[in-house]
Structure 1
Amino acid sequence: MSKLNVWHALLGLISITIVTGQNCSTYDPCGRYGYCGDDVNGNWECQCKFWWTGTLCNKQSSSGIQVIVLGVLVGVLLIIFYGLSIFFSTRRNKQEPTIDNKRNDQNIGLNPNLTHVVIVNVKKSARLSSCFIAILMLIVTTVALVTKWSLVQPIHNELVKKYQEQDLLFYTRKSFCRLIDYEDFNMLTFPIACLLLIIFIIFSKRTSCMRQKLKGYIAPVIPIDFYMHIKRKFAAVVFAIIADELVDIVSQVLLGETSNDDGVIVVYILRIAKVLVIGLRYYPVLSAVYIDSILSLLCATFYAWLDFSLTIVDQSLCQSDFYPSDDNFDDTNGTDLEILFNYYGTGHNLILITILSDIPRYICWSYIVIKLPMLLITKIHRTIKHKQENRPNRLHLTREEKILLHSSAPHSVEMTYVRNLFRSINQRSTSRSFLARLIPKFIYQWRDDFRFSSRILCIYSTIFLVLVSITIQACILVLPYMDIMQQYLQQQVDTLTGVSSLIGVQREFPLPNFVPPYVIAILAAFIITIIQLLTLLANIRRNLLQIFRGDDSEIPVRSKSKYLSYTTGNFHFAGFFIGYVIWGYILTAVFAFIVCICIDAFMTYGSVMFLEKILKSIIPVLLLIIFKQYLNKLLARYAFLQHYGDVLAINNRRILMIFLYFNFFLDSFLGFISSIIRIIQSVIGGCLYMSRLDYSPMGRKLETFDSGFSAYCGFIHIEAVHRNSIMLVVVGHLYSAMKAKQYLAKSSTIIVKSSNPRNKDYSSKAIRKWHLAVLLLRNPRLTFLRKHALLLLQNEDKQVKALNTATRLSYSEQQRHRFSLISENDLEHAWQKNIN
């Protein structure tokens, strides 16, 4: 031993002798690598952190040295692996000939750069009507918010005065509040909505059932056809407004706000009745747009303005968000408002929070009350214009027929999809939309040959507004309770971790201030859920396109024995989706809150004994697993695969057999650890992917037992059957030919000219067969469907007769497109042009 080490040992013994009899309150010899505590005799004692040892925790233990060495080896292995990957990738790119990926000249001429897109395309897309609607929406929203501020401010001032005088915190509702609502049911607009529905039913015509009875009138009206593209944005906004009503029901379910006298069955019946009342309130608004008549739009316009006005009054004077009234004072006895006053103050902060939380809801309402009058004016203008034309032999088309006929139009989305089937990816024209050029393609690639159905937009608008409402309420209502929650949880954590044998040692897991971790956790849960929803939206498009071309790599292949399951799953899709998203949001928030508390505890206190014990057990295992994984990757790419992993062929076969022999026993030890990690990953993945119905945590073999994934499969299959672009184009073309024959038969002024054989289109049979072969090669699923159809036609002659005598399509009311893109005049001009 050297003299220097001897002197250090002597100094340590002297220091220990000097401080004997002292405790940690007067002397802390443990330093930054140990916890100082007092034993039973009142003397100090050190508890070392991580891999430190010694009486004063000033020596590195052998385990610590080994962990450091293993960490260095892992770092070196990572550098070698990724360094070689970058080197070989760069060398491969230099050796391969450069490929000139030229864009289509037409697309380059249209959109040469982003500046041109901003100046030209955005200018064309920003129509005058859209700007006018946006300005009116801003005005109506501002007026509504100012009105609510003026109505809520007297109530706020009254309760502030009672709070300062320590009086009971509640206000007396106006007498007309009992006329507007009864037990959370809007009983003033509900009868008006029922009356409007009766009017719509009386003036609606039947299309198939008993058309001769009562001249075809008195028919049920539907609010929206989810497989039709009629005012998708309008329907999505209405569903977003309905989402605000659903937040109250969700809060009642989660918090269990029920009366003690009510039974379980009665509670569920009342909630179902509330949902039905909410649906009937907005039924006339949706059905009026679907009917698209002057009477329906006029009634819906007045009803929407009335309902919007009563909603402002009801939510300001009758059912305020934070201020208890004489009707609901017994629920909390004013304690919630007292806590809010203590946290946010008695100024205008609470009113400002109320107004800001109502902005999304009022923006949606403003769009409804502005859009309905504009639709009414447009309908009146078109009706007057058609009457002035006064065409005697004009062919009248229903809205369903217009949508179906538009599917076969050259500029339709369905025809664009069919046209792209015969083109490679490089030959397809890029989208002219500004968003398509603005969003990077690795995030989302915009396609002009696909359009989401109305159901998807309605579901997503509902979910987005629900998430916004829950996030705002979670931040506003829970923050005042954070201190109480922190104290309670600290007591529970101290009880679980136990009391240390050393007196004066800090807690095993001291909790920091809950406010920053809670806010970060809520925002992180909101962002993660939004990202998951957008990813699911892209996956819905990909899965639908896969089903269109017969690809069952992700969605199980369609089976006839599961048609009933697909239908019921399609029924449950929307409800399951909303429920899964809400629970996924809650679980993600809880998980993120725990992680943020742990990180904040380290940042606040510098060290936490409970977390150090966990990390001390986890870090060596993780380093060993990472070292083994990257060693296997390095050997697999550069030792056991040909061409550095570019070819799936074994290289160095003998060495590989020897490696597999010894690796057989080595991985058996890591298998137990991997199984534990697998369970932890399943729990974390299940929480983060709860809102993803396209992802089943049970795995591919057991995914059918997942009710959420089964509902998603049912939705995809039903959607693909009724919205297949190829089917819509073919049916639209056949229906157009049939309508053309009907128009020629009824027209007495048009003389059909004899066909000239010179003008006949001599399409080669070989070309037609080539097109058919290309279509079947790119859509292999259609091959089996075509064979099955040909066998049915050969074996059953009745089907041929049925096809020849058919007068209408069975799915004609379900396959739709935007009605404003085709009219009766366009169809007549096209037919006359073909005839002439």
Structure 2
Amino acid sequence: MSVTGAGNGTWSTEAEEENYDDWYLDLPAEPSTPPHEIIVPCNPTVPDHLYHLIVAPLSLAVLLVVSLLVRRRRLCKGCLNGVPGLPSPVNFLHPDAQKAGAAAVFGVLFCSLCRLVLDPDPLPFLAGSSLQNREYWKILALLYYPALYYPLLACMSIRHGAGYFLGGILSWLHCGILIWQKIQCPQSLKFHRYYALLSVLPQLLCFLLLSFLYPAWLLKKCKQDKKSEDSQVAEKSYCVEYLQTILKKKKKSNSPLNPSLPSRSWRFLNSCLYSPQQGFQLPLKLIISATVCGICIYQVALLMLVGFLPTVQKIRASIDMEVILMLAGFGLNIAEDRNEAIDLIKYYLWALEVCYVSALVLSCALTVCMLVRSLVLHRSNLKALYRGAVSEVFLHNPALRPSRSAIFCWMSFTSYQTAVTCIGLLLQQVVFFICTILITFLVIVPIVYGKNLLLFRILEAMWPFWALLVLALIGQHLCARFAFLTISATNRELNNRRALYLVTYLLFPVNVLLGVIMGIWRVVISALFNIVHMCRLDISLLHRAVETFDPGYRTYCHFLKIEASQSHPMMRTFCFLLMQPSSYEGPPGQKAGDVEEGIQLMQSKKPLMKGVLSRQSRTRWWLAYTLLNNPSLLAFRTSRLRLAGSMPNGMPTVEPK
């Protein structure tokens, strides 16, 4: 047997031919898996089916107890005469809801969804299900896991000491069993030996957070005074803080007209990174979306890492002489020396691993940056809608009122945001992996080894063409600046128009070639922009005129409408002012003064001076102005004025003919 290269003189000596026969001796077969990589199946003390058989009835019992603690009339007046019913899981439109606890429960639910998609058994207590019935069990599991974790939300929504106690017991039970399972069996046979342990870490962190939040809420509940809870919440709520921030006198900014480069860089950094602002809080659904998207990035990145990297490492470790001989049989000559060829193939595979990990890190970093940047835009959009500037957010001026489409989009916003984050991360990983492979194997590796210089040879053969395009591009810019443009202190005018027309005509063929390059670059830029911004619903991937055809952006617009119309902080404060006299305890004279001042913004026991009166007048005017432009009240105000036969803003009425 002999292997010869086509004119290369590779492996054609007789000594090598004698050694080739040694490769086909019947040697004892080695184990395919080294002993240290063999994972012994592990059976924990509390397996998954027993864990769910214990937790599911206990969750149902906790839910029954919580439903007995809350009467239905607190949730729905006149429904079945106030008999016990299911409590609300969480008040999504209330600004003072337990945001950390709700985000933790949604994180646990998303981790269960990941397990549902990847595990062969959708329901843990129905192991060994057949392929025919597996899809039905998956549908049932999509309803089972939300019902399993529903009591964790119900216990915190009723704001009762018994609910906090039961929620703490339930969360500690979930957390304790999961920790005990992973201590007993840290390794598994699925994907990677440590994949099961790493994938359950976000779920464990969420359960640990709930395990500490419930006792903290219980202690806070025990230390509270026996005052009316509604008045305490209203006095210290976010709405009052927002109102105080809006109505207080703004300080004059002393920013220079031409800021320096560090100050401009700092402003740009603040516009990209979300930092809390006094008097404003993000809605609960946005906080839940950010939490679930962060867990989604972790789970998808972990799955892509353990699905690709161990396989390539095993292939790289198994490269030997047989692979070199097989490639030589197909006419592929890697190197003249066998050992050098093996090292070179292993180096190529190692470079492939580096490209994959680099693309994954870049994809995760860009996705996180886009989500953080979207929080800044969320805040600016909500603040604009709160002050009635609808045209700053939407292309048209829609009515900020609930509708069928708006309610549906509001319900599905968090789920859609999570799904597009997952899809965007996958697309970025594929595109960036291909780009890093091209850069590595067409530029970096050929420069290091001095071989396979295909790209450089193409560029060397076409260098006159590229030089012509570069010179034409630079020459046109220089002529436009120094020959065809006259810049004066007050105006800019065209100059040498005859030469301008002549150059335009002569460079037409060259500009056509430049247009081809520009068109290709435009496609690349558009594709990269859409792929990078795929995870964001707050911006449209289409043109401004047809942005409503983007389903993701349309969902976000309807979500903003519901949030601005139903959870407006000024509207809540105004409603509290209307309800305050009936529940206020104090002297009659002080009661009217406190209500009129807007939740004790300017309390004073001394006689009011001239400056105090002016501040009160200014505060009342600002309060009336903000209520007048409140998008939550504007629709009702317009309809009432029309029914009364008058026009808004003092316009004269028109008598019907």
TM-score, structure 1 normalization: 0.56
Name the CA distance, whole Å, in 2 between partners of 1:405 and 1:24: 84
2:445 aligned with 1:604: yes
Match of 2:308 among 463, 467, 478: 478
2:632 aligned with 1:796: no
Number of residue pairs the alignment of both structures matches: 566
Match of 2:213 among 358, 371, 375: 371
Match of 1:652 in 2: 494
Name the CA distance, whole Å, in 1 between partners of 2:493 and 2:236: 60
Match of 2:246 in 1: 417
Q: Which amino acid aligns with 1:372?
A: Y
2:429 aligned with 1:559: no
2:541 aligned with 1:712: no
CA distance 1:193–1:552, change in 2 (3 Å):
same
Name the CA distance, whole Å, in 2 between partners of 1:287 and 1:587: 38
Match of 1:173 in 2: 43
Match of 1:724 among 547, 568, 581: 568
SS in structure 2 at match of 1:221: coil
Bigger mean CA offset, 526-535 vs 662-671: 662-671
Pairwise CA distance, 1:303 = 1.1
Please say if residues 190 and 277 of structure 1, whose CA atoms lie closer than 8 Å, have aligned partners that are also in contact. Answer: no
Match of 1:546 among 360, 384, 392: 384
SS in structure 2 at match of 1:702: helix
Name the CA distance, whole Å, in 2 between partners of 1:562 and 1:634: 57
Query: For residues 49-68 of structure 1, what are the structure 2 equivalents within 5 Å?
Result: none
Please say if residues 530 and 541 of structure 2, whose CA atoms lie closer than 8 Å, have aligned partners that are also in contact. Answer: yes
Name the CA distance, whole Å, in 2 between partners of 1:162 and 1:175: 31
Match of 1:583 in 2: 423
2:84 aligned with 1:218: yes
Long gaps (5+) in structure 2: 1-5, 11-30, 121-126, 256-265, 594-605, 647-657
CA distance 1:753–1:576, change in 2 (3 Å):
closer
CA distance 1:162–1:618, change in 2 (3 Å):
closer
Q: Which amino acid aligns with 2:532?
A: L
Please say if residues 161 and 218 of structure 2, whose CA atoms lie closer than 8 Å, have aligned partners that are also in contact. Answer: yes
Please say if residues 386 and 631 of structure 2, whose CA atoms lie closer than 8 Å, have aligned partners that are also in contact. Answer: no
Please say if residues 416 and 448 of structure 1, whose CA atoms lie closer than 8 Å, have aligned partners that are also in contact. Answer: yes
Match of 2:270 in 1: 441
Q: Which amino acid aligns with 1:557?
A: H
CA distance 1:563–1:636, change in 2 (3 Å):
farther
SS in structure 2 at match of 1:695: coil
CA distance 1:737–1:562, change in 2 (3 Å):
closer
Match of 2:53 in 1: 187
RMSD of equivalent CA atoms? 5.2
Match of 1:701 in 2: 545
Query: For residues 53-132 of structure 1, what are the structure 2 equivalents within 5 Å?
Result: none
Deviations, residues 159-189 of structure 1 (Å, cap 9, x unaligned): xx997789996536368537425xxxx3321
Name the CA distance, whole Å, in 1 between partners of 2:499 and 2:229: 74
Pairwise CA distance, 1:565 = 3.2
2:535 aligned with 1:687: no
Match of 1:292 in 2: 159
Name the CA distance, whole Å, in 1 between partners of 2:361 and 2:143: 33
Name the CA distance, whole Å, in 1 between partners of 2:213 and 2:331: 66
Match of 1:740 in 2: 581
Pairwise CA distance, 1:363 = 3.4
CA distance 1:660–1:272, change in 2 (3 Å):
farther
Name the CA distance, whole Å, in 2 between partners of 1:794 and 1:169: 76
Name the CA distance, whole Å, in 2 between partners of 1:198 and 1:798: 53
Query: For residues 1-20 of structure 1, what are the structure 2 equivalents within 5 Å?
Result: none
2:138 aligned with 1:271: yes
Match of 2:14 in 1: none
Pairwise CA distance, 1:284 = 1.6
Name the CA distance, whole Å, in 2 between partners of 1:662 and 1:521: 43
Pairwise CA distance, 1:308 = 1.4
Name the CA distance, whole Å, in 2 between partners of 1:719 and 1:471: 32
Match of 1:406 among 219, 233, 237: 237
Match of 1:323 in 2: 188
Name the CA distance, whole Å, in 2 between partners of 1:408 and 1:260: 52
Deviations, residues 294-351 of structure 1 (Å, cap 9, x unaligned): 111111111111111222344556xx67424xxxxxxx8xxx6xxx6xxxxxxxxx56
SS in structure 2 at match of 1:227: coil
Pairwise CA distance, 1:593 = 1.8
Name the CA distance, whole Å, in 2 between partners of 1:562 and 1:457: 22
Q: Which amino acid aligns with 1:192?
A: L
Pairwise CA distance, 1:372 = 1.2
Q: Which amino acid aligns with 1:555?
A: F
Name the CA distance, whole Å, in 1 between partners of 2:553 and 2:164: 39
SS in structure 2 at match of 1:441: helix
Pairwise CA distance, 1:520 = 1.7
CA distance 1:238–1:742, change in 2 (3 Å):
closer
Pairwise CA distance, 1:482 = 0.8
CA distance 1:252–1:720, change in 2 (3 Å):
farther
SS in structure 2 at match of 1:690: helix
Query: For residues 449-464 of structure 1, what are the structure 2 equivalents within 5 Å?
Result: 449-464=279-294
Deviations, residues 792-816 of structure 1 (Å, cap 9, x unaligned): 44432499xxxxxxxxxxxxxxxxx
Return the structure number with greater relative CO, CA threshold 8 A, min gap 6.
1
Name the CA distance, whole Å, in 2 between partners of 1:168 and 1:770: 76
Pairwise CA distance, 1:774 = 12
Please say if residues 512 and 600 of structure 1, whose CA atoms lie closer than 8 Å, have aligned partners that are also in contact. Answer: no
CA distance 1:212–1:652, change in 2 (3 Å):
closer
Name the CA distance, whole Å, in 2 between partners of 1:528 and 1:753: 56
Query: For residues 123-272 of structure 1, what are the structure 2 equivalents within 5 Å?
Result: 171=41, 173=43, 177=47, 179-180=49-50, 186-205=52-71, 206-207=73-74, 209-211=76-78, 216-228=82-94, 229-251=96-118, 262=131, 269-272=136-139
CA distance 1:775–1:626, change in 2 (3 Å):
farther
Report sequence identity in percent: 17
Q: Which amino acid aligns with 1:538?
A: V
Name the CA distance, whole Å, in 1 between partners of 2:589 and 2:157: 37
Name the CA distance, whole Å, in 1 between partners of 2:463 and 2:382: 44
Deviations, residues 117-149 of structure 1 (Å, cap 9, x unaligned): xxxxxxxxxxxxxxxxxxxxxxxxxxxxxxxxx
Please say if residues 232 and 457 of structure 1, whose CA atoms lie closer than 8 Å, have aligned partners that are also in contact. Answer: yes
Name the CA distance, whole Å, in 1 between partners of 2:640 and 2:277: 36
Please say if residues 171 and 210 of structure 2, whose CA atoms lie closer than 8 Å, have aligned partners that are also in contact. Answer: yes
CA distance 1:742–1:252, change in 2 (3 Å):
same
CA distance 1:734–1:690, change in 2 (3 Å):
closer
Please say if residues 312 and 349 of structure 2, whose CA atoms lie closer than 8 Å, have aligned partners that are also in contact. Answer: no
Query: For residues 32-43 of structure 1, what are the structure 2 equivalents within 5 Å?
Result: none
Please say if residues 163 and 169 of structure 1, whose CA atoms lie closer than 8 Å, have aligned partners that are also in contact. Answer: no
TM-score, structure 2 normalization: 0.70
Match of 2:295 in 1: 465
Pairwise CA distance, 1:416 = 0.9
SS in structure 1 at match of 2:214: helix
Query: For residues 773-792 of structure 1, what are the structure 2 equivalents within 5 Å?
Result: 782=629, 792=639
Please say if residues 693 and 709 of structure 1, whose CA atoms lie closer than 8 Å, have aligned partners that are also in contact. Answer: yes
